[in-house]
Structure 1
Amino acid sequence: MVCKAAGMPWPYAVRLRSDRLVLEPLSIEHADVMVNVLAPRELYQFTGGEPPSAEELRARYARQVRGQSEDGTAGWLNWITYPRNGGPPIGFVQATLHRAAEGMTADLAWLVTPSTQGHGFATEAAQQAATWLHSIHVQELNALIHPEHKASAHVARRIGMHSTTISRDGEVLWRKRLAAMDKR
């Protein structure tokens, strides 16, 4: 699926499944359940900010579900992560797509709520998104990770990303070329 707009269309997020998770494409209705997922203050230790209200999430999600930036230069893919066996959401995965001379790239981000951390859910969700992004011909994954955020660095490493010497706004750029992506 693609998001039609001025210029070339962007892909739409589709429902993804892994062994233990379902990644459901974002909708505005997710705001009411995600407010609890995003409530723990420790989630903002490395990124700054504070927990959003349901109203703030509804406004954010209304922008994100458009599937692209206002000027159409970036595509937005957002998934809410649920346990496959049911229950409330546990996090999200985001990919911001960009067009480059060598093909599409994606800035990838992931989050799981503290009560579900340490069980490999962030890795599983990020890997599922990375595999799907490769299937739609994304050539490179990028992630910005705070140098002290060991858990996110672990996820990046587990999905085959490597840290670079590039730093942006105090975060280290991690990267993976998908042309040689292994099929896990």
Structure 2
Amino acid sequence: MDTIETPLLVLLPLRPEHAGEMAEVLSDPALHEFIGGAPLTEAELRTRCERLTSGPPGWRNWVIWAREDERLAGYVQATIDGRRAEVAWVVGTPWQGRGLATSAATALVEHLMEQEVDTVVAHIHPSHTASAAVATAAGLHPTDHWEDGELRWERSH
């Protein structure tokens, strides 16, 4: 997997060693309102990272390294199936509102579409206006399709 860089951040391929810092980044229970679940402990997150990094080749996961803070601030992920990728992004509460999600999601979508996919899809809860704004900035548009209470957004060549 490639490292992806923007002026604001670097997307680094996920490694189990990121679990300690990421447990802190994802520790705010309010962050899980839209992504589901609850904050994981460092050990639980390490186990998840190990599973993700040893999973099928279509599972791609990056952590977001915020240049300004010189630390991890969230993650992006893509699940690739043929020429289609499903993407998601999460930025820890202290780093929200600074353009990191927009920069990360846009860089991810551009990278995927330049490298290997024709269609990028994201599923966004209708009340999550910040995530909808990120999707719009990344060139995705809402569709008429719903899945598990979330609206599907797409970008195609």
- Contact persistence 1:163–1:175 (CA under 8 A): yes
Query: Paired residue for 1:120, among 83, 99, 115?
Result: 99
Gaps of 5+ in 2: none
Q: Which residue of 2 aligns with 1:42?
A: 30
Q: Tell me how far apart the structure 2 counterparts of residues 86 and 118 of structure 1 sit (CA, whole Å).
A: 14
The Cα shift of 1:96 comes to 0.4
Q: Which residue of 2 aligns with 1:145?
A: 124
Gaps of 5+ in 1: 1-12, 69-73, 180-184
The Cα shift of 1:155 comes to 0.3
SS across alignment from 2:72? coil
Alignment of 1:8-157 (within 5 A): 13-68=1-56, 75-85=58-68, 87-99=70-82, 104-157=83-136
Q: Would you say 1:162 and 2:141 are equivalent positions? A: yes
SS across alignment from 2:71? coil
Instruction: Specify which structure has the higher proportion of helix.
Output: 2
Q: Tell me how far apart the structure 2 counterparts of residues 164 and 53 of structure 1 sit (CA, whole Å).
A: 36
The Cα shift of 1:67 comes to 4.3
The Cα shift of 1:116 comes to 1.1
How far does the alpha carbon of each residue in 1:7-65 deviate from its partner, in whole angstroms, 9 at most, with x for none?
A: xxxxxx21111011011000010101100000011111123210011111111111111
CA RMSD of aligned residues (A): 1.2
Letter in 2 for 1:158: A
Instruction: Work out which of the two has the higher radius of gyration on C-alpha atoms and give 1 or 2.
Output: 1
| TM-score after normalising by structure 1 | 0.82
- Contact persistence 1:67–1:77 (CA under 8 A): no
| TM-score after normalising by structure 2 | 0.95
The Cα shift of 1:137 comes to 2.2
- Contact persistence 1:31–1:57 (CA under 8 A): yes
